Amino acid sequence: MAYAAAKDALPKYAHRFSPKKFTQHQLFACLVLKEFLKADYRGIVSILADCPNLCAAIELEHVPHYTTLQKATDRLLKKSRESPP
């Protein structure tokens, strides 16, 4: 559900020159899963690596590095703070 909601609310990529390895939708879904499972960044990366069905559900071809998720958290939270209530 988080993946579908992100598709409706977020642009596909953060910037036109982004590496385009992962969409913001996929990263957002990973972060929601991280919070739901009460895992840290390295923990959610391990969970995704061990569960290919989770990766398939959010159309991940590769598991992101934990620093990718950390940077996505900063970027996505920054956007939510800047947007009007």
Query: Residue by residue, what is the 3-state secondary structure of the chain?
Result: CHHHHHHHHCCCCCCCCCCCCCCHHHHHHHHHHHHHCCCCHHHHHHHHHHCHHHHHHCCCCCCCCHHHHHHHHHHHHHHHHHCCC
At residue 27, does pLDDT exceed 80? yes
Least confident of 19-33, 34-48, 60-74: 19-33
pLDDT in tens, 47-66: 999 999 989 999 999 999 99
64 versus 17: which is more confidently predicted?
Answer: 64
Q: What is the per-residue pLDDT for 82?
A: 54
Distance, in Å, from the CA atom of 30 to the CA atom of 48, rounded to the nearest integer, reads 9
Q: What is the per-residue pLDDT for 7?
A: 75
46 versus 18: which is more confidently predicted?
Answer: 46
Q: Is 83 left (phi over 0), alpha (psi -120 to 50) or beta?
A: beta
